[in-house]
Amino acid sequence: MGEFDEHVTVVAGGASGIGAACASAFALEGARVAILDIDGPGATATAMSIRESAGPEKVEAFTVDVRDDNAVNDAVASIAARWGGIDHLVNSAVNFVAKGLTATREQWEAALDVNVIGSALLTARAARDMRPGATVVNISSISAHSAQPERWTYNATKAAILALTRGQALDLSPAGIRVNAVSPGWIWTPEVEKAAGGDRSRWEEVWGQYHILRRLGEATEVADAVLFLSSSKASFITGTELFVDGGYNALGPEGLGDTSKFAGSS
């Protein structure tokens, strides 16, 4: 019996990227997993892929827009009724609106509604069916700590997630629920792949220079951190943030120094 056997995990934004990696990691560790995503076909495809390795009864997909309170309520109620409660929640749903000076009110609202409000209300609803010892992990970002060109909307919402995490940790502690955040660096996800035009070999070194480990991260590496924070090994950890960023946040303005030390540099 593994620690997560028979546990129930809800992953919002689990159709792809970090969310999909988290869903797979929990399922492989024995948990039952519910994937919530606005991308219904993507959520179903991810669930089918996970079933091949974790078993047909381990994963269910729900087409849910976290901005739709009725859809969220119905999905959480269905999950709790089917599996008897909820043990873990991963808030990975995200709207990648990255705008700065020119951001419109509609763009601000789009970013806040998914990244902050959606996560907050999903957590509040799920908490009603969470068992003592349950956990919540919110996916923030190193962007919460950095000024980056033309990224007011995205960075502000990721910073808000950290404040939200602390408040949730305090208010949910009487129910025995721990709440933490993970802040990834540059991770090879569909959004980053799109920005790179699919050419990782070309962009690995370019983006790798922002990280002490000189490379992009993998979604599975973020999922490993989420599993840790959700496990009994993190039983005295709540209200905090774990960087999974290859040293991005620790790197100073001097950068990496001699970049000729990069593997493959000319």
DSSP-derived secondary structure for 31-81: -EEEEEES-HHHHHHHHHHHHHHH-TTSEEEEE--TT-HHHHHHHHHHHHH
Model confidence at 260, pLDDT cuts 50, 70, 90, reads low
Please report whether residue 101 resides in a domain. yes
Query: Strand 130-139 to strand 178-184: parallel, antiparallel, or no bridges (unpaired)?
Result: parallel
**Cβ neighbours, 10 Å, residue 65:** 17
Please report whether residue 48 resides in a domain. yes
Please report whether residue 200 resides in a domain. no
Please report whether residue 201 resides in a domain. no
pLDDT attached to residue 262: 57
Radius of gyration of the chain (CA): 18
| CATH code, domain with 236 | 3.40.50.720
Number of domains observed in the structure of the chain: 1
Active site residues: 154
Please report whether residue 170 resides in a domain. yes
pLDDT above 70 covers a percentage of the chain that reads: 97
Single pTM value for the model: 0.94
pLDDT in tens, 181-212: 999 999 988 888 888 888 888 888 888 899 99
Q: Is 266's pLDDT higher than 50?
A: no
Please report whether residue 153 resides in a domain. yes
Mean pLDDT of all residues in the chain? 94
Could you list the residue range(s) of the whole structural domain that residue 165 is in? 8-186+219-250
CA 165 to chain centre: 13
Please report whether residue 30 resides in a domain. yes
